[in-house]
Amino acid sequence: MTRRLATTLLTSAVLSPAAPFPMLTISSPEASVSFDLRGGSLVDFHLTGSTVNPFTWVQNVEPKEEPLRGHFVCLDRWGAPSEAEIARGVPYHGEAPRVLWKATGPRTMTADLPIANLGIEREATLTGATLIVRERVTNRNPTGRIYNMVQHPTIAPPFLDEQTFIDANAGLGFAQTTPNQAPQPFPKAHTADLRHLTSDPLPNVVSYIIEGPTGWVTAASPTSGLVLAYLWKTSEYPWLNLWRDVAKGRPIARGLEFGSTGLHQPYPELIRRGRMLDRPLFSYLDAGESVERSYTVSLSLLPAGTKRITQVQSVGPRIDLKFD
C-alpha cells in the first residue's frame, strides 16, 4: 500500500468534527452506557438516577483532529509509531480509536483498520450495572504480523478529583522514563504513590505486571460515592499501565490501561527487548487468524468510609468487590 493510498483510506474513515455524534447506547434498569462510533469509545457510563459519568475525558487536540475519548482501544499499537510509520500516516495508539465504527446491531459494532489491514468486532452486554465487552480481531493480511492491543479507560472530573484513589492487584512495575531501573511493587513508582493524584503527575506513565489468572483495577471516588471496577484475564492482557495528568495543579485525567504490552515505544524497540519482567511486549497474529479478548467493567455505589478495595471477582455476569 502506498503512502498516498494509506493516508486517503484513513482520512475517508474518520468523521469530521462537524458531523453529528453517532452513538450506540445500551440500557438496563440500573445503568446506561454509550459508545461514540467516532473511534468506538465508551464515553458514558452512569447509574440510573445519577448524572456522574467517569468517562468525560476528551483529548485536547487541534480543531481539525479527531480527539481520543473516554475508554478507547489502542490497536494495532500502544503509543507512538516509528518515524517511518508516522511519515506514512500511521497514528499514535493505532487506527482503532481514530476511525468510524459501524453499529451492526443493538449491542454490536465493527471497525476496519485500513493501514494495519485488521478488522475488529465488538459485542457489549449490560447486566444491571456490569458491562461485559468481547472483541475479536482479525488479521486480513496475507502474512502474519506483530501487533498490540491495549484497553485505555481514561477517567476525568467530576468523578476524578484529589480524593479519588486507585487499587489493583498489580505486582512489580517500572516508570516509562526509567524502564531499566529496578522494578518496584504497586503502588510505588520512584517516590510517588500511584494510588493517588493531586498536583504532581510524575512519573506520569508506570507499567506493572499482574500475577495470577485475572487482573483488576478500580477507581473509587468518595466525592461522587461511586467506584469503577475492571476485571480481565491476564492470559489476554498481562500488563496494567497507569497514566496521570494534571492541569492548573489539579487532576484532569487518569488512564487505567490494561493490555498486551507494557512498554510505550515503537515496534523496533519492542522487538529488541522482546520481554520485560518475564512478560511479552507484543503479540503475533498469523495470516487470516482471529483472536478474541474480553473484559468486564462495573459501576457501583462506594460505601461511606471506604479506604481501599481489596478484591474484585466475577460472580456470574456481575462483579463483586470487597472493601476495607
In the chain, how long is the greatest CA-to-CA distance? 58
- pLDDT band at 112, cuts 50/70/90? very high
AA letter at 169 = N
d(CA 240, CA 150): 9
Confidence of residue 153 (pLDDT cuts 50, 70, 90): very high
Per-residue pLDDT tens for 80-100? 999 999 999 999 999 999 999
Question: Residue 250 is part of a domain; what is its CATH number?
Answer: 2.70.98.10
Residue 322 backbone zone (phi > 0: left; psi -120 to 50: alpha; other: beta)? beta
pLDDT at position 61: 76
What pLDDT is stored for residue 20 in this prediction?
62
C-alpha cell belonging to residue 31: 445503568
Total structural domains within the chain: 1
CA-based R_g, the chain, Å: 19
Residues 272-316: tens digit of each pLDDT: 999 999 999 999 999 999 999 999 999 999 999 999 999 999 998
**For the residues of 203-224, what is the DSSP string, one character each?**
S-EEEEEE-SSEEEEEEEETTT
Give per-residue pLDDT as tens, 1-32.
333 233 222 322 333 344 467 999 999 999 99
What's this model's pTM, rounded to 2 decimal places?
0.92
User: Given 3-state DSSP classes, what are the helix, strand and coil percentages for the chain, each rounded to the nearest 5?
Assistant: 5, 50, 45
Q: Please say whether the beta carbons of 297 and 229 come within 8 A.
A: yes
Nearest residue to 15 via CA among 120, 126, 99: 99
CB 259 within 8 A of CB 74: yes
195's grid cell = 494510588
**Cα separations in angstroms, 223 against 99, 308, 315:** 35, 15, 27
Report how far residue 269's alpha carbon sits from residue 267's, in angstroms, rounded to the nearest whole number. Answer: 5
Mean per-residue pLDDT for 181-205? Answer: 95
Mean pLDDT across the chain = 92
Question: Which residues, including other chains, have CB under 8 Å from residue 251's CB and lie 6 or more apart?
Answer: 157, 160, 161, 162, 164, 197, 198, 244, 245
Q: Identify the domain containing residue 15 by its residue range.
A: 3-323
